[in-house]
Structure 1
Amino acid sequence: MSTHLLTWLNGQLLPTNQACIPVNDHGLLYGDGVFEGIRFYRRRAFRLQRHLQRLALSARVIALEIPYSTEELEAVIERLIEAFADDYGYIRLMVTRGAGPLGLNPKSCSQPNVIAIADQLTMIELGQQVGARLIVSSVRRLPADGLDPRIKSLNYLNHILAKIEANHAGADEAILLNAQGRVAEGTADNVFIVRDGCLLTPPCSEGALEGITRELVLQLARDNGIETREQSLGVYDLYAADECFLTGTGAEMIPVASIDCRSMPGCPGPVFGQLQQAFRRAIDQECGGII
C-alpha cells in the first residue's frame, strides 16, 4: 500500500479518506486527547523516543490510558513510514478518549482511539527562503494554572485564534504572550531571539511547550560555544533582537524577517545559520541524511 495520505487506525493501515472514528468520540466532541508530531527523514523517525515519552506523560496527566506499549507504538510508526510514498514526511500520532455519551464526563469512554497519519507538512510557505513575518497576537496564552503547556492536548483553539489574527494581518505566524505580557510561544512553535551573540528563549514556565526541537537547539548551541539563556522576554526584546527564529517539529527551524512590521537586522542571521547547520548534522547522524 502506497499513498501520500496514509493512516494507521487501531491496528489497520488505510488510505486517510477511508479512516473513520465515531462522531461521539470525545476527542472530536471536546478535544479530549493528546498528540505528538513526528518528522521522519530517509524513512527514519527523528527523536522518536522523546516524542513517545512526551506522549505518555501527556496521557498520564489527563488520566488517559494508551492501549499500546511504547514498543508497539514504535512498530506502528515504523510500519507507517515503510508504507508511505515518500522518504521524508510528517506523522501526527493521536490518542483520543474514545466514543462515549454526550457530556464532558469521560467515565463511560472505555476504548481510546489511536490514530497515526502520515503526510507532508510545511508550516510557513517560503519561510525558510525569505523568513517569516510575525505579529504579536492580542490572544493571550492560557495560563499554566488553567492548562499546563506541557500537555500536548488536542484542543488548540487558543492558538488557532492567534493564527486567525495572523491571517487577517497578512502575517505568517503569531507570537502569544502570557497573562503577564511576557513572551510565551508561537501558535505551533517555540521562539528564540539573539542579542549580542547570546541565544535567548523564554523558560517553559512562561507558557511555552517543552519543545523537543527547542531542547535540541539549546543543546546544539551549548555544544557549539554559543551562550544560551532561558529568561523572560517582553515585546521590547522581540523588537530589539538582532535575530529571531522559530523551532518545532513541524516548523523545524524558520528565520524571522519581521515582527509587527519591524525588520530583523539579520534574516537569516549568523547564529541561526550556525545552528541550522548543526541541526542538519544532528538529523544526518540520527537518520542517515536529510533533504
Structure 2
Amino acid sequence: MQNWIYLNGTLVLGNEANISPYDHGFLYGNGLFETMRAYNGKVFCRDEHLKRLERGGRILGWPEWFDAESLSSAIDQTLEKNGIQDASVRLTVSRGAGASQPDPSTCQHMTIVIFVSAIQPLGDEVYEQGWHLVTARIQRNLTSPLCNIKGANYLDNILAKSEARQKGGNEALMLNTQGGVAEGTMCNVFFVAGGRLITPNRTSGLLPGITRAAVLQLARQAGMIVEERQVYPNELLDISEMFITSSLLEIMPITMLDQVIVGNGRPGKITCLLQKEYKRMVKSCCS
C-alpha cells in the first residue's frame, strides 16, 4: 500500500513523488530533517522540533524560508491523509534545485518533503533486555558546525552504526575529537553513577535531542542530581546504569557497552523511573 507524501505543498502518492536530480540535498547533502513521533495522531514536542529545524537553517545560512504554521499544517495533513495514529513523521527540507556546482545561491526554492510511517513497536522484552552499544572509531568533529544540526549528510552516522552492527551491537557510541563522549548515531546518551544522572553537555559535539531535553526536565522535576558536562570513556567503567534517548526509541536501556555488562545487566532503577515519567508526559500531551 502506497503512502501519501507531502511534496512542496501537494499530497502525492509515494511512487509519484519526483525530486529534481539537481536538488542540492541529493547532490551535496545540503538539507535538514526532523524525525518526530506521533501518538494518537498528535505530534509530541512538535514546536521544539520545528524550532531546531529553523535554527539549523540559520546555521547553514539559508534565506528566509521558515513558516512554522505552514509546516505544522502540512504535518497534520499528511498524518490525516494516511490515517496513521501512531507514526514516525519525517520532515526533510533541502536547499532545492540549482546548478550542478556546489553553489547554493543558484537554488531558488527549498524542497520540502513529509512522509509518515506506522510505528512498529520493538516490544517490552527488548526494553527489558536492553541494547548493546559499541564505541565507534569515527569521531564527532568539534570544529564543525555540522555537530549542531540535524543535517541530511549522515555518512559518519551510517559508517559508525555499520561498524557497531558488524561487532554485534545495536547502536554506536561516538566520541569527539578530544576523546570525550558525544552521542550515538541517532540518539543521546545518559549514564548513572553514584546516584547522579550524567549526560554529555552541548559542547561535546552532540545534537541536542528533543527527547534528551524532556528527560532532563523530568529528572530535575523528580529531584535527581543532574550533571551536563564533559564525559570521558574511563568514567564509564564505574557507571551503574546507561540509556539512550530518541523520539522513536523514547528511552532505551543499555545493558552492555563494548562487551562489558553495565550494572547488573538489567535496566536500572533510575532508567525505569524516567521511562514511566516519560510515558506519563507523552500521555498528558497527546491523549
The two structures have a TM-score, normalised by structure 1, of 0.93
Partner residue in 1 for 2:42: 44
Alpha-carbon RMSD: 1.8
Q: Does residue 189 of the first structure (1) align with residue 191 of the second (2)?
A: no
Moved more, 62-71 or 219-228: 62-71
Deviation at 1:4, TM superposition (A): 6.6
The letter of the residue matching 2:155 is L
For 2:67 and 2:231, locate their aligned partners in 1 and report how far apart those are by CA, in whole Å: 39
Structure 1: tracts of 5 or more residues without a match: none
| Pair 1:136–1:66, CA change in 2 (3 A) | same
Which deviates more from structure 2 when the two are superposed, residues 172-181 or residues 229-238? 229-238
Cα separation, 1, equivalents of 2:249 and 2:64: 27
The question of whether the paired residues in 2 share the 8 Å contact of 1:142 and 1:158 is answered with: no
Distance 1:34 1:66, change over 3 A: farther
**Residue matched to 2:267:** 268
Contact persistence 1:8–1:116 (CA under 8 A): yes
2:198 matched to which residue of 1? 200
| Matched residue, 1:227 | 225
State which of 12, 15, 21 in structure 1 corresponds to 2:13: 15
Counterpart for residue 99 of structure 1: 97
Report the 3-state secondary structure (helix = DSSP H, G, I; strand = E; otherwise coil) of the residue aligned with 2:84. Answer: coil
- Structure-2 separation of matches of 1:238 and 1:80: 43
**CA distance, structure 2, for counterparts of residue 166 and residue 122 of structure 1:** 22
- Partners of 1:94 and 1:169 in 2: how far apart? 31
- Within the alignment, does 1:279 sit opposite 2:278 as a pair? yes
Distance across 2 between alignment mates of 1:66 and 1:18: 29
Following superposition of structure 1 onto structure 2, how do residues 229-268 of structure 1 map, counting pairs within 5 Å?
Answer: 229-266=227-264, 267-268=266-267
- Is the 8 Å Cα contact of residues 212 and 245 (structure 2) preserved in structure 1? yes
| Matched residue, 1:156 | 154
User: Following superposition of structure 1 onto structure 2, how do residues 29-108 of structure 1 map, counting pairs within 5 Å?
Assistant: 29-65=27-63, 67=65, 69-108=67-106
Per the TM alignment, residue 6 of structure 1 is displaced from its structure 2 partner at its CA by 3.1
Aligned counterparts of 1:136 and 1:68: Cα–Cα separation in 2: 37
What 5-or-longer segments of structure 2 have no aligned partner?
Answer: none
Report deviation, 1:260.
0.4
Measure, in 2, the Cα distance between the counterparts of 1:240 and 1:28: 44
1:228 offset after TM fit, Å?
A: 0.6
Per the TM alignment, residue 193 of structure 1 is displaced from its structure 2 partner at its CA by 0.4
Paired AA for residue 135 in structure 1: V
Task: Give, in whole Å, the separation in 2 of the partners of 1:173 and 1:22.
Answer: 33
| CA 1:182–1:110: 2 relative to 1, 3 Å | same
Per-residue Cα deviation, 1:29-88 (whole angstroms, up to 9, x for no partner) = 110011111110000010011111111111122122464511111111111111223310
Deviation at 1:96, TM superposition (A): 0.4
- Tell me by how many angstroms 1:160 deviates: 1.1
Q: Distance in 2 between matches of 1:235 and 1:121?
A: 33
What is the percent sequence identity of the aligned residues?
34
Aligned counterpart, 1:166: 164
Amino acid at match of 1:85: G
Q: 1:180 to 1:123 in 2, by over 3 A?
A: farther
Q: Distance in 1 between matches of 2:65 and 2:202?
A: 29
Q: Secondary structure at the match of 1:76?
A: helix
Q: Which amino acid aligns with 1:254?
A: M
Report the more deviating stretch, 59-68 or 99-108: 59-68
